[in-house]
Amino acid sequence: MANAASGMAVHDDCKLKFLELKAKRTYRFIVFKIEEKQKQVVVEKLGEPADSYEAFTASLPADECRYAVYDFDFVTDENCQKSRIIFIAWSPDTSKVRSKMIYASSKDRFKRELDGIQVELQATDPTEMGLDVIRSRAT
């Protein structure tokens, strides 16, 4: 099990799309999926810049694990416009044990490929990644 999980490759598209989100703000969010047969992490969904946080959370499956990054815009108490790139490891309680193990053991290696993540969040149900949680972790 450990050998299979630690051997997860990261598709070049994952890094390219992340750079576009970070540098050009081409996307609001990216959802990543592990393709077990190809033993690699791939891009599953790209969110348009105008997409809402609700559109992002709706794109995460209720019973399958995913990785995601979200470009969160907010205004500070000093009235400054800021943004944080948030990495979310989505691992719902209802997902398969094997899937949870693969995602958990591949997470750190995958995260290292995405240079520029500012906040990390682990969520097992939607309440753990509500907008209020995101806002409190980002500021």
Find the CATH number of the domain harbouring 101: 3.40.20.10
Q: How many domains does the chain have?
A: 1
The domain of 79 spans: 9-138
CA 109 to chain centre: 14
Q: Note whether residue 1 is domain-resident.
A: no
The mean per-residue pLDDT over the stretch 56-83 comes to 95
Q: Note whether residue 66 is domain-resident.
A: yes
Q: Note whether residue 133 is domain-resident.
A: yes
Q: Note whether residue 3 is domain-resident.
A: no
Q: Looking at per-residue confidence, does 87 or 76 come out higher?
A: 87
pLDDT classification of 8: cutoffs 50, 70, 90: confident
Q: Note whether residue 98 is domain-resident.
A: yes
| Number of neighbours of residue 101 by Cβ within 10 angstroms | 16
Q: Note whether residue 117 is domain-resident.
A: yes
Model pLDDT, residue 106: 94
The mean per-residue pLDDT over the stretch 29-39 comes to 95
Distances 126 to 61, 91, 123 between C-alpha atoms, Å:
11, 10, 7
Model pLDDT, residue 6: 54
Name the average pLDDT for the chain.
92
The mean per-residue pLDDT over the stretch 89-114 comes to 95
Model pLDDT, residue 45: 98
**What number of residues does the chain have?**
139
DSSP 8-state class, residue 128: G
Q: Note whether residue 45 is domain-resident.
A: yes
Model pLDDT, residue 71: 97
Q: Which two tokens stand for residue 119?
A: 């906040």
pLDDT classification of 1: cutoffs 50, 70, 90: very low
Q: Note whether residue 29 is domain-resident.
A: yes
